[in-house]
Amino acid sequence: MHDPTTLQTIWFALICILWLGYFVLEGFDFGVGMLVRFLSRSDNETRAMIHTIGPIWDGNEVWLLVAGGATFAAFPEWYATLFSGFYVALFVILAALILRGVAFEFWGKDDRPGWRRFWVWAMLVGSALPALLWGVAWANIVRGVPLDASGAFDGTLFDLLNPYGLLGGVASLTLFLAHGAWFLSLRLHGEIETRARTAASVLAPIAAAAVAAFCAWTIVRSGAEIVPTVLCVVAVGCALVAMRMTPGRAFALSAVTILALFLALFAELFPAAIVSSGPGPDLTLYNAASTSYTLTVMTVVAVVFVPLVLLYQAWTYWVFRTRLGASDFGPFEKLRS
């Protein structure tokens, strides 16, 4: 097996960073989408919850698009195997993301109770499915999936629905729920903020238990390799400490938990791109990569444009930092467009 080159290693790290940014930022989006159904008691409270992520959720999804594009350009074989072998799961995720985006836009287009109720459920489903399936997908990428001698996926969707993969999905789902609840407790005021804090206090120990169970299994599977083990311990520690913190610190620690959890998976994966459970060998970064020239050009482009994108997104978060509540919105009919 060839070791990856420096450029290949750099691009694997950059793609990991893009995924980590996506999970931290989109994670609380997913949490908000799932919690609207349970925390809101009025149209204005629903409006307030949607507005906490309204200006930023689509920007957060850009991280996913860039991660996919970077994988396609830097590691085309990795991209091909992922998007063919995980086609059904990725199609469900894409459909759910579309449903969620449509729900945010359509919820306020009609004041009929049935209309609003339908789109609130659409937000929940459109947020819960990706939150679950991303954990399932990455757990399986590390655990191993059937690959043939050419590196192509040689299994079915049911191969992904194994106990380890499903536990990874439960860990990501509950962690994103708690992450979203802490986010809402920072962005809302009034009674709905109190309910968000209560939800966070209930969800945090559930998320901590799921993360601890998944990390324990990951450590056993990896043979207690030092880097994944340390990161798993960090993830569990942060999840446990977050339960006793103020909302701001708890939100920061839930973000660190997400970072540590997925970093542990990426650390265990390296230098493979996808682990094979047979009959073929692992798909390695070296075998999956583009040419050195392509990676060099991509590096120059990334150095120029990535800082600009980060600055713009940071500015967006700063502009829309004000807390919201039901009292900030007038009669529903006046808000329709």
Distance CA 139, CA 160 (A): 9
In contact, 150 and 191? CB cutoff 8 Å: no
Residues 238 and 231: their CA atoms lie apart, in Å, by 10
What is residue 336's predicted lDDT score, i.e. its pLDDT? 45
- In angstroms, the CA 124 to CA 128 distance is 6
**Phi first, then psi: what are they for 273, rounded to 5°?**
-95, -40
- Closest C-alpha to 55, from 333, 322, 250: 322
Under CATH, which number does the domain 7-320 receive?
Answer: 1.20.1630
pLDDT tens for the 337 residues of the chain, in order: 678 899 999 999 999 999 999 999 999 999 999 999 999 998 889 999 999 998 888 888 889 999 999 999 999 999 988 888 888 889 999 999 999 999 998 998 888 889 999 999 999 999 999 999 999 999 999 888 888 887 777 777 778 889 999 999 999 999 999 999 999 999 999 899 999 999 999 999 999 999 999 989 988 887 767 878 888 888 888 888 888 888 889 999 999 999 999 999 999 899 888 888 878 888 889 888 999 999 999 999 888 888 988 898 899 888 888 888 877 776 654 444 3
Q: How far apart are CA 178 and CA 169, in angstroms?
A: 14
- Residue 256: the pLDDT is 92
Q: Which helix (H) or strand (E) holds 39?
A: helix 6-39
Q: Give the separation between CA 31 and CA 310, rounded to whole angstroms.
A: 23
DSSP 151: S
Question: What gap in Å lies between CA 206 and CA 35, rounded to an integer?
Answer: 15
Matching residue, tokens 């993360």: 211
- Check: CB of residue 89 under 8 Å from CB of residue 25: no
Local structure of 31: helix, strand or coil: helix
Furthest-apart CA atoms within the chain: distance in Å: 65
pLDDT value of position 202: 92
Residue 330: count other Cβ atoms within 10 Å of its Cβ. 9
**Strand ranges inside 105-208, DSSP E:** 145-147
Question: Is the distance from CB of 207 to CB of 178 less than 8 angstroms?
Answer: yes
The domain spans of the chain are 7-320
The pLDDT assigned to 50 comes to 92
Closest CA to 80 of 126, 148, 16, 169: 148
Q: Coil, strand, or helix at residue 273?
A: strand
Closest among 286, 298, 238 to 262, alpha carbons compared: 238
Q: Rounded distance, CA 91 to CA 86, Å?
A: 8
